[in-house]
Amino acid sequence: MHTIAVLPGDGIGEEVVREGLKVLEAVSAVTGFQYKTENYPYGAEHYLKTGETFPDSALRAMKDHSAILLGAIGDPRIEVGMLERAIIAGVRFGLDLYVNLRPIKLYAENLCPLKGVTPAQIDMTIVRENTEGAYVGLGGIMKKDTPNEVAVCNMVWTHEGVERVVRYAFEAARRRNKAKRVTLVDKANAIRPMDLWTRTFEAVAKDFPDIETDHAYIDAACMWMVKNPDWFDTVVTDNLFGDIITDLGAMLQGGLGIAASGNLHPGRVSMFEPIHGSAPKYKGQNKACPVATVMAVQMMLDYLGDSDGAALVEDAVGAALRKKTIPSLRAGDIATDAAGDAIVAELNELAASRG
Ligand code: IPM
Ligand code: MN
């Protein structure tokens, strides 16, 4: 029996998570995936009521689950970034979830903003380092609000941290079994300490003679993702660079309404979430697109070993998008609950046809 910690969070989080769980229930009826969920209230409301963001006891509780499903965090009533740092970064760092896995796949041609690009051309996996870089919080501000103010933010990489995520990327390329190519994305020309990535990548590559290696600087990678997205198979990159290019990637597959991610430490409790934010203006309106959360559930199923269930969810989403029972990934084009229902309907139809 898998136990899943559910953190709906803020804004549209609750609505999209409800649809994610609806799809999870439907798929479990087909594949026999056994699970129970436990809800956690952390987010803006909880903070405003109790003054608590994400206590140590919450982090400890997370460790007793098989996986975590997160909706969205962030609320305009609260200081910028405070809840995101406490909860999202709190879990990523606290559980040492060193891989942020972000698949980018186009399911229907009409969803891609690029002219004439077909689903066959957009299918890549971005492996974002998730525990180092600019996110470690080493730095600060001095002489605040004076003309002499100084702000420092260090990007920190360790050999161990780079090695493990690069190794994961090579393994992921092998598991994907498509172009079998890993592209290292860095900025080692201008940021010379990133040479640690270059050397580590070369060293790890020796253990994977079946996988082709490739390299792009982050600026050029942005260009290539638009110009020749089909070139990318598996990408490995730093935390901040990965944050940025996965929003670009999300647009290639139709927008933030579909992009999902897994924060992983292989073999340990891991966290799955849509990559979008809490979109406070749509809160409670039944307008937000839940597909990204459904895809986060899909990644969670795969991680927890139900690969049939994961394939079924992916196929159901693809079918709903191709048949336009979900006409777009924009907020408001279809009600949140109707989009969840459309995916469940496709899923049941597919399951019946597969017997
Ligand atoms: C993401 C988000 C987070 C990040 C924010 C909310 C802290 O943008 O998951 O991509 O920067 O990692
Ligand atoms: Mn981001």
- Taking the CA atoms of 1, 97, 59 and 72 in sequence, report the sign of the dihedral they define: negative
State residue 262 phi and psi, 5-degree precision. Answer: -120, 125
Q: Which ligand is closest in space to the CA of residue 273?
A: 1
Q: What is the pLDDT of residue 55?
A: 97
Residue 85 Cα to ligand 1 midpoint, Å, equals 9
Q: Which residue has the least CA distance to atom 4 on ligand 1?
A: 243
Give the containing element (helix H, strand E) for 129. Answer: strand 123-129
Q: Say how many residues make up the chain.
A: 355
Q: What is the pLDDT of residue 353?
A: 95
Give the containing element (helix H, strand E) for 234. Answer: strand 234-237
- Record the tokens describing residue 113, joined without a space: 């903003």
Closest CA relative to residue 338, chosen from 18, 12, 111: 18
Q: 128 with 100: CB under 8 angstroms?
A: yes
Q: Which residue has the least CA distance to atom 11 on ligand 1?
A: 243
Q: Is the CB of 84 under 6 A from ligand 1?
A: yes
CB atoms near residue 308 (< 10 Å): 17
Region of residue 96 (phi > 0: left; psi between -120 and 50: alpha; otherwise: beta): left
**Which residues have CB under 8 Å from 175's CB, separation 6+?**
none
- Global pTM value: 0.97
Q: Residue 325 is which amino acid?
A: T
Q: What is the pLDDT of residue 355?
A: 76
Q: Which ligand is closest in space to the CA of residue 72?
A: 1
Split the chain (355 residues) into runs of 10 and give each run's mean pLDDT.
97 98 98 98 98 97 97 96 97 98 98 97 98 97 98 98 98 98 98 98 98 98 98 98 98 97 98 97 98 98 98 98 97 97 98 90
Q: 235 with 126: CB under 8 angstroms?
A: yes
Residue 168 Cα to ligand 2 midpoint, Å, equals 21
Q: Residue 154 is which amino acid?
A: N
Q: 157 with 239: CB under 8 angstroms?
A: no
Q: Is the CB of 275 under 6 A from ligand 1?
A: yes
Q: Is the CB of 342 under 6 A from ligand 1?
A: no
For residue 240, the ligand 1 atom closest to its alpha carbon is 11
Q: Residue 33 is which amino acid?
A: F
Q: 271 with 217: CB under 8 angstroms?
A: no
**Which residues have CB under 8 Å from 209's CB, separation 6+?**
none
**Which residues have CB under 8 Å from 163's CB, separation 6+?**
200, 203, 204
Q: What is the pLDDT of residue 42?
A: 98
- Record the tokens describing residue 125, joined without a space: 């996996």
Q: What is the pLDDT of residue 80?
A: 94
Residue 114 burial (C-beta neighbours within 10 Å; 0-12, 13-18, 19+): middle
Q: Which residue has the least CA distance to atom 6 on ligand 1?
A: 84
Q: What is the pLDDT of residue 354?
A: 86
